Amino acid sequence: MSLEIRDVKTICTAPEGINLVVVKVLTNEPGLYGLGCATFAHRHLPVVSAVEDYLKPYLIGRNPQDIEDIWQSCMGMSYWRNGPVLNNALSGVDMALWDIKGKLAEMPLYQLFGGKCRDAVPCYAHAEGRDIQETIEQVGMLKEQGYRNVRAQVAGYGGNMSEPMGIKSSFSGSFYEPKQYMRSVVKLFEELRSTYGEELQICHDVHERLTPIDAINFAKEMQKFNLLFLEDPLSPEQSGWFSHLRNHVTVPIAMGELFNNPAEWTELIVNRMIDYIRIHISQIGGITPALKVARLCESFGVRTAWHGPPDMTPIGHAVNAHIDISIPNFGIQEWHAGNNNVFSSEKETNLLQEMFPGMPVVKDGNICLTESPGIGLDFDEELARKYPCSKEIVTWDWMLPRLPDGTAVRP
């Protein structure tokens, strides 16, 4: 009997109040299935439809080992491609097929990619406070937990203003003033270096909150702090400015959290305009394209720093780590996943570990993988269904940034 895909399921769950989407691909071999992350937290319902109404009918009966052909076919058959809904849907399937491949080989995923290049995966965690002192304290807490790489923010992305323009605005959102934001971050990093010296590697996420010329001037100011990197200083729409940024500053640049399309990252990589690629692996379609991006980056001296936020499943975090541990041009890994993190409650931590048994853990600032076959973790569907996703439009305040006069800008 030849191996075939028998069923494809999507399970939505929100154990930490964040909508997550898991894809489960089942085969005609009893007990053999794969799991994948298809989380697009802010638009999860269209992803579910893309998987169940469009990908599933094509996948039933296919050999799950034909990963490359399935990926290429599913990407092309929609005709219009490279959007976040299709990419996340395809990612869930793609990861699940790789999970099956690892289980068939009785090897952890990283072995299929060529084996280990390192013993563990160094990662960084996020520290954020309402003011500079609170941020410094949060950094200290992470340092005590063993982290040696920390991203630091103050008062949210771009900094928040309680009274924009001194009047009550008719618009809703997260208000910030760019010049004030830049000054507060420079002061924060002066205090961080004064407090911790050079013993920590520190980075900062601009999150595209600046105009191109302000981003260049801000990067110049941040050079003196010997950053691990400055993250997303420009938006994907302003990528033409990266050549100017590169010509004026030497601070390492990390870019790509919002990328969906190879056209967005290829030029930046081959022209050596960035130092770290920050793409979200499910956002570009899963493991299959991520491995190709990693190899492209290797040829041009660019390192990886995959996006690893709270709005992705532990499956996605594990996939990040499997690729990280197996490639020579790994840089650093963002870490959340709810476990061993100062910003997650013990209740949430235990719940995630119960729902995703075998999920990776962090020890002394390093992600540790198991030797279990495939991606290496399982999923408790029954428990997951007890924590349903919200059907309301999911929009966090920081996703609606505004200038003091009310002008909407992109997050």
What number of other Cβ atoms are within 10 A of residue 16's Cβ? 20
On average, the pLDDT of the chain sits at 91
Residue 181 in domain: yes
Considering only residues 156 and 225, tell me which one the structure prediction assigns the higher pLDDT: 225
322 lies in some domain: yes
**Mean pLDDT for the stretch of residues 215-224:** 97
Dist CA 36 CA 115 (whole Å): 21
- Is residue 274 in some structural domain? yes
pLDDT of residue 365: 94
Q: Which of 44, 207, 280, 317 is catalytic?
A: 207
Distance CA 408, CA 411 (A): 9
126 is catalytic: no
Least confident of 13-27, 34-48, 146-160, 367-381: 146-160
The verdict on residue 130 lying in a domain is yes
Whole-number pLDDT of residue 238: 93
Looking at residue 393, its pLDDT comes to 65
Cβ within 8 Å of residue 410, ≥6 positions away:
208, 235, 237, 401
Q: With 80 as the cut, is the pLDDT of residue 104 above it?
A: yes
Give the chain's domain count. Answer: 1
* pLDDT attached to residue 404: 83
| Residue 133 CB neighbours (<10 A) | 12
Two tokens at 380? Answer: 């408790």
Give the active site residue among 124, 157, 176, 276.
157
On whether residue 93 sits in a domain, the answer given is no
The whole-number pLDDT of residue 333 equals 97
Our measurement of the distance from residue 257's CA atom to the centroid of its chain's CA atoms, rounded to an integer in Å, reads 7
Q: Is the pLDDT of residue 407 over 90?
A: no
pLDDT of residue 411: 77
pLDDT at 338: 44
Provide the pairing of β-strand 276-277 with 253-255: parallel
Residue 348 has pLDDT above 60, yes or no: no
Judging by DSSP bridges, how do beta strands 20-27 and 5-13 pair with one another? antiparallel
Q: What is the CATH number of the domain that holds 173?
A: 3.20.20.120
Higher pLDDT, 67 or 166: 67
Is 248 known to be catalytic?
no
What pLDDT does 394 receive? 64
For Cα atoms 357, 10, 353, give the angle at the middle one, nearest 5 degrees.
15
In a domain, 28, yes or no: no
pLDDT band at 260 (very low <50, low <70, confident <90, very high): very high
Q: Indicate the range of 100-109, 147-156, 334-343 predicted with least confidence.
A: 334-343
What pLDDT, in 10s, does the model give residues 350-394? 899 999 999 998 999 999 998 999 999 999 999 999 999 887 766
Q: Cβ–Cβ contacts within 10 Å for residue 201, how many? A: 17
The model carries a pTM of 0.93
Which of 34-38, 159-163, 174-178, 396-400 is least confident? 159-163
The lowest-confidence range among 93-107, 333-347, 390-404 is 333-347
Predicted confidence band of residue 133 (pLDDT cuts 50, 70, 90): very high
Give helix 314-326 / helix 84-105 axis angle, nearest 10°: 70
Report residue 61's pLDDT band, with 50, 70 and 90 as the boundaries.
very high
Is residue 147 one of the residues assigned to a domain?
A: yes
Host domain of residue 272? 111-373
Structure tokens at 41: 């937290």
Q: Is residue 6 in some structural domain?
A: no
Report pLDDT for 162: 55
What are the pLDDT digits (tens) for 312-345?
999 999 999 999 999 999 999 999 834 344 444 4
pLDDT at 151 over 90: yes
346: pLDDT strictly greater than 80: no
Query: Is 124's pLDDT higher than 90?
Result: yes
Residue 169: its pLDDT value, please? Answer: 72
